Structure 1
Amino acid sequence: MTIKKKFPILLLFVCSGFSLGVAQKVSVVSPRVEMQENPLGIDRKDPHFSWQLKSGMNDVQQTGYEIQMGTDLQGLKRGNNLMWQSGLVSSDHMQVGYQGSPLQSGKEYYWRVRVHTNCGESHWSAVQRFTTGLLHDTDWVAKWIGEDAMSNPGESQTELHTRLAARYLRKDFQASSHVSRATLYISGLGYYQAFLNGKCVSEDLLTPSITFYSETVYYNTYDVTRLVHGGDNALGVILGNGRYFWVRGSGMEGFGLPRLLAQLVIEYADGTKKIIASDETWKVTSKGPIVANNEFDDEEYDMRKELSGWNVSGYNDAAWKNADIMSVPCKRLRAQPCPSVAVMERLRPLSVTRLASGKVLIDMGQNMVGRLNASFQGKEGQKVIMRFAELINPDSTLYVANLRTAQATDVFTPAADGRFSWAPVFVYHGFRYVEIDSIEGRPDTDDFVGEVMYDKMKCTGDFETSNAVVNQIFKNAYWGIRGNYHNMPTDCPQRDERHGWLGDRATGCWGESFMFDNALLYRKWLQDIEESQREDGVVSAVSPRFWTIYSGDVTWPSVYILAAEMLYRHYGDTTAIVRHYDSMKCWVEYICQNSMKDGLVVRDEWGDWCMPPESPELIHSQDPLRKTDGAILGSTTFYGLLYKMMEFARLTGHPEDVDNYRTHAEVLKKAYNKRFFNYETAQYGNNSVTGNLLSLRYGLVPEGYEQRVFQNVVDKTEKDCKGHVSAGVVGIQHLMRGLTEYGRKDLAYKIVTNTDYPSWGYMIEKGATTIWELWNGDTAAPDMNSANHVMLLGDLLIWYYENLAGIKNAEESVGFRHIEMKPCFPDGLSYVKASYQSVSGEIASHWSRTGKEFSWEVTIPANCSATVYLPIALHPEKPEAVRAHSIKRAGEYWVVELGSGDYRFQSKI
């Protein structure tokens, strides 16, 4: 187009090249079952299949799909003997439920999909495999076994710090040489590590996933065909205590002594099967080298007690006892529905220093979660003691007061002088620093590896800006979030807590889902929440309920509904809503009957937790004007949840419930404004930022008063809080988005880039590499401050992606099928570069402005569309676009409707 001299503008839409051949224009990628690639041991009878489309063309739309599935790989490729052949289904859906013949237990299935689009037909996808678990209780012949005695509890047992040695179990068996498939179904409580012929069956750690064990226990499924050989074989298992045995002698739930359930199914080429199942013929001992293991305290390994060859055939186990039959621990035994913990990254230390005391201090350079894999020179019988901490004192000793009663100490005892390598099996620690006593020689950084452990999941988001503080906050959040993914989203990874506090993730789960493929973790956690529910409907504020806290409030349990909504909106997954609707309805009815008075939710337990106090020396604010009335917190939150429950009722086929929820909402709104709203000042309650902001964001403000209420939010933030964080953990879930949506992106940007108290930047200035529990954790109560919490992030990560990058699931969209791209372009920020691997494909946004030049590149996945808001201030002339569905002017924006593809906007002002 013509370049004008005064306001030269250029807009280019750059489209990727076309592929040759109709079938090559579109391909199917990432086919998955139950959101997993090639999963083993699915125990759902109606699993969901999903896929994405990839194309070099623009505006690709799926018009139909075909799925084929069978039990024979070659038969599937020929199209023979299929269990499910959908035929061509006219649909743009990329997630569908299974509709074939009933699935059978322990079977191997193969499937593939191809799609039809407006640009042609794809090839068949790569063939994917999945296996079913044991679908019926009668499929199990194994028994729960263990050592039903407190033998060898270890020394220094106290009422608080429990100690119990690991159990070692083994079974010799024979197999023929014509094995076609071997599958191990196994659960060991609290944790287990399994070996077949001396080889570990998996890289999974801390299995099975934590549950409230008296309700549900999970088992894992492993394909061990490669490990079974003709002749003599041996299956060996180490049982750790995990959270099944009492982690603490008091104050936390415990369930009993460790126990094992194992069933190895060997299928031969002639069609016969052999089953090796845990029973009383197995042998057990607790006299092995892991003499103690406690998730909060330590793992102690005594090399002098090693049982050489115990997990291979031919070992002499005459001194071992026959295993005891143990009681069934749970109401339900289910296949584990989410990935296990594993080592996901390895770090070398920043420094290794020999201190004047003779001890060695390791600085990982990053507050991390996992374990230390150490190589060192040791002396016979001399304990090598490794202590872990997040912080150090000025004299280079460890600061451990914030660990509370967690001892965070691992111990290795050499059997002889020499060099050893060791890492614990049944513990993990939150740490940056490690102090090691009693190692010889001159250790250096090559001798130690920090193994980062969290639930196996892909990183889905990249984010970078021109501002170093914004970037470091993102990095700190990344390390904090994954460090707190351990079978549940925990509050902290280092002290004697590590619980699934509901309130920490009410909005956090949405921001986290931009960073990590966390759908299976949260789907599993919602099951934990339901299993924490009392018969009358109230749920525990901690789930699984190792601490049982039935407070009957709304703000913390709101995550039950909000996380289910996140799974639906971000992942297109209705499973959680359907599965838990009755339970959620029961909870809503409990609140209506027990926590409400005169139309308002009056019960509140935690308040607007961690509202930044007016003085850095205070733990909690003493200023009554900073504190929000609990009835405001509960009523606003519950009002929003009632409207979400209306949507859930429609989705699950319960239209009869919609009017009931609406009636409760209307009564609440009327009572709320009558009680709390001052029509003269447009203030709610005591005019706290949280009270006003929640009222705005949830739609409770009377029509015409919105801007005045918002101005009170701004005035309080700018004047009383001097342009800093002005809300606690409830209000901060809406702070950044609320400020931006009502026109104060500048204030939101100031809050995120502040480096003085209270701010995320202040934590960075003080050396934090994760997110603190307290805004003033260095001055108010360091012994209370976890240096690795994520609850203070609020809606920050959502704001990063939706408001800075412009990657937002549109209001009525599910699974990012329609994207709203409306960055706020704050002054002071010269570029944002972000991408998100959504369930529908990669979405990318990269905008920059330097001098008089502006550029914005966007990527929209195939079978998706986007509404792009291009500020007229950055692009005064109407853009001329290739293949835009429409372009119109609306207020301060050019609104451009686009289909899938890669596009670039450029202008010179």
Structure 2
Amino acid sequence: MKKKFQILFLFLFVGCSLCMAKKISVVYPRVEMQENPLGIDLKNPHFSWQLASDVKDVKQIGYEIQLAADLRDLKRGDNLIWKSGLVQSDKMQIEYEGLPMQSCEEYYWRVRVQTNHGMSSWSAIQRFSTGMLHAEDWHAEWIGENAMSNSGESQTELHTRLAARYLRKDFQASSHIDRATLYISGLGYYQAFLNGKSVSEDLLTPSITFYSETVYYNTYDVTDLLQEGDNALGVILGNGRYFWVRGSGMEGFGLPRLLAQLEIEYTDGSKKIIASDETWKVTSKGPIVANNEFDGEEYDMKKELPGWNLSGYDDSTWKNVDIMSVPCKRLLAQPSPSVAIMERIHPSSVTRLASGKVLIDMGQNMVGRLKASFKGKAGQKVVMRFAEIINPDSTLYVANLRSAKATDIFTPSVDGYFSWAPVFVYHGFRYVEIDGVEGDPDIKDFVGEVMYDRMQQTGHFETSDFIINQIFKNAYWGIRGNYHNMPTDCPQRDERHGWLGDRATGCWGESFVFDNALLYRKWLQDIEESQREDGVISAVSPRFWTIYAGDVTWPSVYILAAEMLYRHYGDATAIVKHYDSMKRWVEYIYKNSMKDGLVVRDEWGDWCMPPEAPELIHSQDPMRKTDGAILGSTTFYGLLYKMIDFARISGHSEDIDNYKTHAEALKKAYNKRFFNYETAQYGNNSVTGNLLSLRYGLVPDGYEKRVFNNVVEKTEKDCKGHVSTGVVGIQHLMRGLTEHGREDLAYKIVTNTDYPSWGYMIEKGATTIWELWNGDTAAPDMNSANHVMLLGDLLIWYYENLAGIKNSKESVGFRHIEMKPCFPDGLDYVNASYQSVSGKIVSNWTRTEGRFSWNVTIPANCSATLYIPLSLHPEKPEMAKAHSIQCEGDNWIIELGSGNYCFKSDM
């Protein structure tokens, strides 16, 4: 039989599709998102690919890559810039090793692989382009309006107000245009047009940074928008976070400004550059009279500028632009996708209230904007207010928004029917209250446009239990709603920050659901740029709030997220790039946060430990609180061993002994101070203290079972089988219970519906994850209804322990998968899949009516170890293609190569 296999590939920074050995197919979901990557400013980008096959046990044993600057050359195999030759390797992620690339050029490449079943055909040819590789490539200047004269009414010390700037430039283009590329950055946000048409569907660009350090630019192919003869380039500048979102208490940087360079290449080889300079025109008297991320956007129709972004527009009343100062130390190509509209939903209801206002219920707490179609009257403001919660009288509950007005305003200039959505803001909301519309609005008149960083969903998860499924759905909506150029804490109030502690373990669980590698790689750069010279890291990054607490638990995400990128995505880039910075942070902790061998500095404790009474915000019971030195010391001990791995990966083996010495000394001091050898308890015997000591390997040999028994006893007796930790402990709770044989208790915790539990939130109508377990009773004005920090390790537990999709301990990028699901009583089935960087992994098991079945898919060039309990599969599985089958303890252990497999038995 003639065997078939197919190759898919992913360009780690840019993404693309590969060809099958005998047919071309685009099957990897990331391909569509980055099929035509533009503007890479990395001199040694990484290429990667996957293998897919209709035969079992496919292994790659070699690869060959070709790259050229001309499509015809690549097809012929001539004038190649990179010709790897056949390299004997099973790696599917490779760093560029060809001749130096040039700025602003297009490149074409292909790959083929040799496998144990033969050589594949060449992949489909893919292209990418480079950006500005050198500072001297830029001819543009930063321009804008260097004045506050248009700040308008209602500005206070707290609520800032500034109209959008409109900038334009007319220019000529000759015939025979070959290629036109726009390189652009507008601070805080921009919307760009060429001849009246938007250059992209991206929103809220460029990505947020701590602007004085780094600013990103975007690259767009605008060839199809350019025309022979007269052309016009127009840009609207919004405030974003560059202009002060708040008058005090939060970092701001200055007035909006634009950098733009349009490069036109002609078929005869000549080039023309249109760059932002003093010849551009600007006005602040356009229809967007105010825009503020927290407060909303205001649009005045009578100020519209018809044709302003078309050639020939009369801009004689506009000002000449001002040359603005350079805002940053580094100008780089944006390394992660921009925010975009990723889904559209209609409301579940639209109601005209007795007050005359209209109340919209989206049926789902969402993040994005409302596109509204409505009948309005000239001069009568249409006011749209957003909230997550409503009061019993159907008015909006807005106390938890703090100072955020969360209000959009549209003012018609004539009577008529209008359709409008804001440009430079987003909201976290389920409900919208609209005042000023005429007639009888209908559900079809309103669309909720869900906005977050452009990325694919990688994980599917479903079980026989409604609560488990709804928690997953709530997590799904909460995670993506908090992906806005960084993983934010909340999307609705006057905060929306990258709090480090919220994602320490959360980033691992999120990576099963979304392809978040580029987002987290970008965020690690933000974290380094928040670092002070002495090594301490701000607990918020980018540091719009600068908080140098000097503790360990919150900044631990710096190391943990880099480890996640390496282990889950096979990407060591972050480890290598940030190793020196991480080492400085470790050394800061040595010098400033330790005493008597222990980490004693701690800022927030085991935050959000469920209090003993539902009306309390924080527990008052000292026996529920974990000593900060326990939290910091256990976490730091674990991080030191991760730094040992990082030192090996990044080529700094000289640091390994130092980390080991500090770790060993810390363990000795820790057990001397906190461990009671008689009771096998740490500190006050809190679940978090015992659990962290156990999972990080600090427990003295022989005491592990007794320490775990204390965890179980506290959880079952004191907490009645409910969540028994705060946000530090919950990063280990579900896996810790399961690893030590109490998956039944973990299952009880996840399926509880009374306080405190995720199910309790669902019973109270939550469609995302709350900030507080008791957000409805303790402090509704403090509670964000869309947070993800309380998820802890729950999503990891879903995939690794319920489904059995786990990256093996020594594996990178799921090249070897440990498939060892637990089968808690009460759960009849789990259907799960994960599109890993190495291919799609599937685990679907069913246990009903005395029968057991398990369907498994292992990607090509990967392998797996499966564990099937003898109680579910008494007879030895018959597997012709298995590498080995053996019985150990209570399990059949099966070693398998790639392919689709099915196991069935009568129990």
> CA offset at residue 881 of structure 1?
1.1
Give 1:575's aligned amino acid: T
1:293 partner SS: strand
Q: CA deviation at 1:30?
A: 3.2
Question: What amino acid maps onto 1:396 in structure 2?
Answer: S
Would the aligned equivalents of 1:63 and 1:91 in 2 still touch at CA under 8 Å?
Answer: yes
2:269 corresponding residue in structure 1: 271
**Corresponding letter in the other structure for 1:809:** N
Mapped partners of 1:21, 1:104: distance in 2 = 43
Separation (CA, whole Å) in 2 of partners of 1:555 and 1:39: 37
Match for residue 30 of structure 1? 9
Instruction: Read off the aligned partner of 1:843 and give its amino acid letter.
Output: I
Deviation at 1:689, TM superposition (A): 0.2
What secondary structure does 1:827 align onto? coil
Q: Counterpart of 1:814?
A: 812
Q: What is residue 345 of structure 1 aligned with on the other side?
A: 343
- One of 406, 428, 446 as aligned partner of 2:444: 446
8 Å Cα contact 1:198-1:312 kept in structure 2: yes
**Contact 2:192–2:233 (CA<8 Å) still a contact in 1?**
yes
Match of 2:278 in 1: 280
* DSSP-derived class of the 1:553 partner: coil
Task: Calculate the TM-score normalised by the size of structure 2.
Answer: 0.98
User: How big is the shift at 1:832?
Assistant: 0.0
Q: Structure 1 residues 31, 521: closer, same or farther in 2, change over 3 A?
A: closer
Correspondence for 1:676 among 674, 677, 688: 674
Q: What is the alpha-carbon distance in structure 2 between the residues aligned to residue 159 and residue 129 of structure 1?
A: 50
Q: 1:795 aligns with which of 765, 787, 793?
A: 793
Matched position secondary structure for 1:573: coil
Matches within 5 A, 1:142-153: 142-153=140-151
CA shift in 2, pair 1:35/1:138, >3 Å: closer
Aligned amino acid, residue 284 of structure 2: S
Give the Cα separation in 2 of the matches to 1:482 and 1:376.
29
> Alpha-carbon deviation of 1:584?
0.1
Deviates more, 1:881-890 or 1:803-812: 881-890
> Normalised by the size of structure 1, how large is the TM-score?
0.97
Aligned to 1:823: 821
* Partner Cα separation in structure 2 for residue 208 and residue 672 of structure 1: 46
Gap regions ≥5 residues in structure 1:
1-19
Alignment counterpart, residue 95 of structure 1, candidates 87, 93, 96? 93
Instruction: Give the whole-Å Cα distance in 1 for the aligned partners of 2:433 and 2:834.
Output: 39
Equivalent-residue separation in structure 2 for 1:35 and 1:519 (angstroms): 12
**1:870-893 C-alpha deviation (Å, 9 max, x unpaired):** 101111122221110011111111
Match of 1:489 in 2: 487
Q: Residue type of the partner of 1:353?
A: T
For residue 529 of structure 1, what is the amino acid of its counterpart? I
**Using a 3 Å threshold, how does the CA distance of structure 1 residues 484 and 300 change in structure 2: closer, same or farther?**
same
1:236 partner amino acid: G
Q: Secondary structure at the match of 1:186?
A: strand
Equivalent residue letter for 1:792: L
Distance 1:307 1:739 in 2: 63
- Tell me which residue corresponds to 1:7: none
The corresponding residue for 2:310 is 312
Contact kept? 2:859, 2:898, Cα under 8 Å:
yes
Match of 2:376 among 371, 375, 378: 378
For residue 473 of structure 1, give the secondary structure of its aligned residue in structure 2. Answer: helix
1:785 is matched with: 783
Report the secondary structure of 1:82's partner residue.
coil
Q: Deviations over 1:133-186 (max 9, x none)?
A: 001000001000000000211210001000000000000000012110000000
What's 1:473 paired with? 471
Determine the structure 1 residue equivalent to 2:586.
Answer: 588
Root-mean-square deviation (CA, aligned residues, Å) is 0.6
Runs of 4 or more, structure 1, over 4 Å off, are none
For 1:246, give the aligned amino acid. W
Question: What amino acid maps onto 1:145 in structure 2?
Answer: I
Alignment of 1:300-449 (within 5 A): 300-449=298-447
Q: Is the 8 Å Cα contact of residues 287 and 303 (structure 2) preserved in structure 1?
A: yes
Are residues 1:666 and 2:645 paired?
Answer: no
**CA separation in 2, counterparts of 1:806 and 1:858?**
10
Which residue of the other structure, out of 524, 527, 534, is the alignment partner of 1:526?
524
Contact 1:35–1:520 (8 Å) recurs in 2: no
Alpha-carbon shift at residue 408 of structure 1 (Å): 0.1
Match of 2:628 among 630, 635, 646: 630
- Letter aligned with residue 587 of structure 1: W
Identity %: 82
SS of the counterpart of 2:673?
helix
Contact 1:31 1:128 in 2 (8 A): no
Aligned equivalent of 2:898: 900
* Amino acid in structure 1 at the alignment position of 2:347: P
Q: Pairwise mapping of residues 57-96 of structure 1 onto structure 2 (< 5 A)?
A: 57-96=55-94
Distance of 1:777 and 1:498 partners within structure 2: 18
Report how far residue 536 of structure 1 moved.
Answer: 0.2
Structure 1 counterpart of 2:836 = 838
Displacement of 1:198 in angstroms is: 0.1
Q: Which of 185, 188, 193 is the aligned partner of 2:186?
A: 188
Task: Give CA deviations for 1:586-629 in whole Å, capped at 9, x if unaligned.
Answer: 00000011100111000000100000000000000000000000
Match 2:605 to one of 604, 607, 612: 607
Q: SS of the counterpart of 2:666?
A: helix
Number of the residue aligned with 1:5:
none
Contact (CA 8 Å) 1:35, 1:50: kept in 2 or not? Answer: no
Report the Cα offset of residue 79 of structure 1: 1.0
Q: 2:507 aligns with which of 485, 503, 509?
A: 509
Note if contact 1:147-1:259 (Cα within 8 Å) is conserved in structure 2.
Answer: yes
Residues 172 and 313 of structure 1 are in contact (CA less than 8 Å); yes or no, is this contact kept in structure 2?
yes
The AA in structure 2 aligned to 1:851 is E
Aligned equivalents of 1:583, 1:573: Cα separation in 2: 18
Moved more, 74-83 or 260-269: 74-83
Note the alpha carbon deviations across 1:267-294, whole angstroms, 9 max, x for none. 0000000000000100000000000000
Q: Which residue, out of 252, 255, 258, partners 2:253?
A: 255
Structure 2 residue aligned with 1:882: 880
Q: How does 1:120-269 map to 2 (within 5 A)?
A: 120-269=118-267
> Could you tell me which amino acid in structure 1 is paired with residue 515 of structure 2?
D
C-alpha displacement of 1:658 = 0.3
Give the match for residue 11 of structure 1.
none
After TM superposition, give the deviation of residue 33 of structure 1 in Å. Answer: 4.5
Letter in 2 for 1:30: F
CA distance in structure 2 between the aligned counterparts of 1:607 and 1:771, rounded to whole angstroms: 21
Return the alpha-carbon distance in structure 2 between the equivalents of residues 129 and 189 of structure 1.
Answer: 29
SS for the counterpart of 2:588 is helix
Structure 1 range deviating more: 80-89 or 831-840: 80-89
3-state SS in 1 of match to 2:81: strand
| CA apart distance, 1:122 | 1.1
Checking the alignment, whether the CA contact within 8 Å between 2:9 and 2:15 is kept in structure 1 is no
Deviation at 1:560, TM superposition (A): 0.2
Q: Quick one: distance in 2 between partners of 1:39 and 1:649?
A: 32
Q: Please give the secondary structure, in 2, of the residue aligned with 1:882.
A: coil
The answer to whether the 8 A contact 1:169-1:238 is kept is yes
Q: 1:725 is matched with which residue?
A: 723
Please give the alpha-carbon distance, in whole angstroms, between the structure 2 residues aligned to 1:684 and 1:298. Answer: 49
Counterpart amino acid of 1:714? V
- What's the CA shift for 1:754? 0.2
Secondary structure of the equivalent of 1:123?
A: coil
Match of 1:8 in 2: none
Q: Is the 8 A contact 1:26 1:120 kept in 2?
A: no
Letter in structure 2 aligned against 1:862 = A
1:431-451 deviation line (CA, Å, top 9, x unaligned): 000000010011000000000
Q: Against the structure 1 CA distance between its residues 71 and 33, is the aligned structure 2 distance closer, same or farther, given a 3 Å change threshold?
A: farther
- Counterpart secondary structure, 1:402: helix
Once the two structures are TM-superposed, the CA of residue 35 in structure 1 deviates from its matched residue by 4.9
| Residue matched to 2:696 | 698
Paired letter, 1:628? T
Is 2:37 the partner of 1:53? no
The question of whether the paired residues in 2 share the 8 Å contact of 1:491 and 1:498 is answered with: yes
2:735 — aligned with what? 737
Give the superposition deviation at 1:31: 3.5
Q: Secondary structure at the match of 1:671?
A: helix
